[in-house]
Amino acid sequence: MKRLLYHLISLNNACNLRCSHCYMYAGDITIEELPLSEWKHILTDFSHHGFDTVTFSGGEPLLYPWFAELCHSLGYTISVLSNGLLWTESLIERLDGIIAQL
């Protein structure tokens, strides 16, 4: 049986909601994001260490400006922790077959 190596990536700390229970807005928030090239480098390095599954979260990962491009550039099984409000028909079609269907 193949062992899956899994990694949870917080792409950003931005969110389109302000839920009172969420740790994202427990204090002063500054938007800090790594550029696409840096994420590609990090995730490529993970794959060299046997990781094959990644879950993107945030904040809201769909607010990351290069989210779809990053997903397309990997080769991982990808899942997304999202509040679901920013998914559009176009984005769903663009990421069809890339995001794991659970």
pLDDT grade for 5, boundaries at 50, 70 and 90: low
Specify the pLDDT at position 58.
82
Tokens of 19: 């839920």
**Residue 64 within a domain:** yes
**Residue 100 within a domain:** no
Domain carrying residue 20: 6-94
pTM, entire model: 0.83
- What CATH number does residue 20 fall under? 3.30.750.210
**Residue 45, burial from CB neighbour count under 10 angstroms (0-12, 13-18, 19+):** exposed
**Residue 102 within a domain:** no
Total domains in the fold of the chain: 1
pLDDT tens digit string along 10-60?
Answer: 988 888 888 878 776 655 556 678 999 999 999 888 888 888 889 999 889
**Residue 1 within a domain:** no
Residue carrying structure tokens 């090239």: 37
**Residue 88 within a domain:** yes
Distance of CA 57 to the CA centre of its chain: 5
Angle (nearest 5°) at CA 100 between 96 and 102:
120
Sheet architecture: strand order including 53-57? 6-10, 53-57, 77-80
Specify the pLDDT at position 2.
55
**Residue 99 within a domain:** no
